[in-house]
């Protein structure tokens, strides 16, 4: 099984359950978007939401995915940057507890936080202060780390540092790694469309997007967007929330249904979908089985608040993965 290396923003998520969307208007946060904010604005939003229920959990898009991969039993590593603070220690300890090999740079800035405002319809709106995460750049990348891994997974939120993303992709390509990218957020794609298209054209083998991101990236509706994405990649995936997902590899098209679950909070759904999909890919499962594993992981995480699947759910998930893998082995014989 191929080892998977992730690179992304190391953050602590502050899950905040809001009772209406007026708070989004108050802080000029477009619903469903991810907005970067400075330290003072982050403090203002945190103070302005003190009366809401909050849950703190280590996060960051790729960090969530890598954590899920390690919990599934994959050998996974994470590259990122945190502060020299207790929050950074919490992030690192939680990742290592899951079995992740961490490659973290420590900086004087505080560890980044992402205030996730969860609306009553389960939509999430992020106000993210990157803190120490933004201090990580291409000079911090160690080519020796890449040699031990077969897959590189990058989060689209890093695209504002194009040189970092390009350098990581170049190092991965020299090691013949498969390179996967998630487009992150529709407004990030809008702001860095040319950069995303350049990276996808030159490096990306597996591309993940939700419907809004796919539409902005291609200028096309979902079905046509998937086909356009697949023209430039080995595999493309469009995640459609409660409608499931669409996958394409060459001329192979697969539609995967979601799990019938009780949705509590969609935070981490896309991240954990990537965990399941990449785990399947690393085990050489077929396209449909990779998508099914993605749905299993996403379905389990949306039944809880936050981007981590509760401990009590993992035995049944691992049992299902084992059955699916065994089934795949029989089909190959």
Does the pLDDT at position 116 exceed 60? yes
Q: What is the pLDDT of residue 272?
A: 96
Q: What is the pLDDT of residue 332?
A: 66
Is the separation of the CB atoms in 320 and 311 below 8 Å?
no
Bridge partners, 207 (sequence order): 181, 236
For each of the domains in the chain, give its residue range(s) and CATH number, in order of start.
4-8+59-105+134-332 (3.40.1190.20)
What mean pLDDT comes out for the span 230-251?
95
Phi, psi of 321 (to 5 degrees): -60, -40
Q: Return the HEC string of 186-224.
A: HHHHHHCHHHHHHHHHHCCCEEEEEHHHHHHHHCCCHHH
Tell me the pLDDT tens digit for each residue of 175-222. 999 999 999 989 899 999 999 999 999 999 999 999 999 999 999 998
For the residues of 16-58, what is the DSSP string, one character each? EE-SSTHHHHHTT--TT-EEE--HHHHHHHHHHTTTSEEEEEE
Tell me the pLDDT tens digit for each residue of 146-183. 999 999 999 999 999 999 999 999 999 999 999 999 99
- pLDDT bucket at 333, cuts 50 / 70 / 90: low
Tell me the pLDDT tens digit for each residue of 254-298. 999 988 888 877 778 999 999 999 999 999 999 999 999 999 999
Percent of the chain at pLDDT exceeding 90: 72
């Amino acid at each position: 099984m191929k080892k998977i290396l992730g690179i992304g923003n190391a953050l602590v998520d502050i899950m905040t359950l809001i009772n209406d969307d007026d708070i989004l208007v108050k802080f000029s946060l477009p619903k469903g978007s991810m907005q970067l904010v400075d330290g003072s604005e982050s403090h203002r939003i945190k103070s302005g939401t003190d009366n809401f229920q909050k849950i703190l959990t280590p996060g960051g898009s790729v960090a969530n995915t890598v954590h899920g991969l390690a919990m599934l039993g994959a050998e996974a590593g994470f590259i990122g940057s945190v502060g020299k603070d207790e929050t950074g220690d919490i992030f690192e300890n939680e990742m290592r507890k899951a079995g992740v090999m961490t490659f973290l740079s420590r900086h004087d800035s505080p560890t980044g936080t992402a205030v996730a405002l969860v609306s009553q319809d389960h939509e999430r709106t992020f106000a993210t202060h990157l803190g120490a995460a933004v201090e990580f750049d291409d000079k911090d990348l160690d080519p020796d780390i890449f040699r031990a891994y077969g897959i590189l997974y990058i989060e689209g939120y890093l695209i504002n540092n194009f040189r970092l993303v390009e350098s990581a992709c170049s190092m991965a390509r020299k090691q013949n790694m498969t390179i996967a990218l998630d487009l992150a957020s529709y407004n990030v794609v809008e702001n860095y469309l040319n950069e995303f298209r350049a990276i996808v054209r030159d490096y990306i083998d597996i591309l993940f997007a939700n419907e809004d991101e796919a539409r902005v990236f291609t200028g096309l509706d979902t079905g046509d967007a998937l086909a356009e994405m697949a023209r430039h990649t080995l595999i493309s995936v469009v995640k459609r929330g409660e409608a499931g997902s669409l996958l394409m590899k060459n001329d192979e098209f697969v539609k995967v249904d979601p799990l019938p679950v009780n949705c509590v909070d969609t935070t981490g759904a896309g991240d954990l979908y990537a965990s399941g999909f990449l785990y399947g890919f690393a085990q050489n499962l077929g396209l449909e089985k990779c998508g099914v594993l993605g749905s299993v992981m996403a379905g389990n995480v949306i039944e809880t608040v936050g981007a981590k699947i509760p401990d009590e759910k993992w035995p049944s998930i691992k049992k299902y993965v084992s059955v699916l893998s065994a089934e795949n082995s029989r089909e190959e014989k």
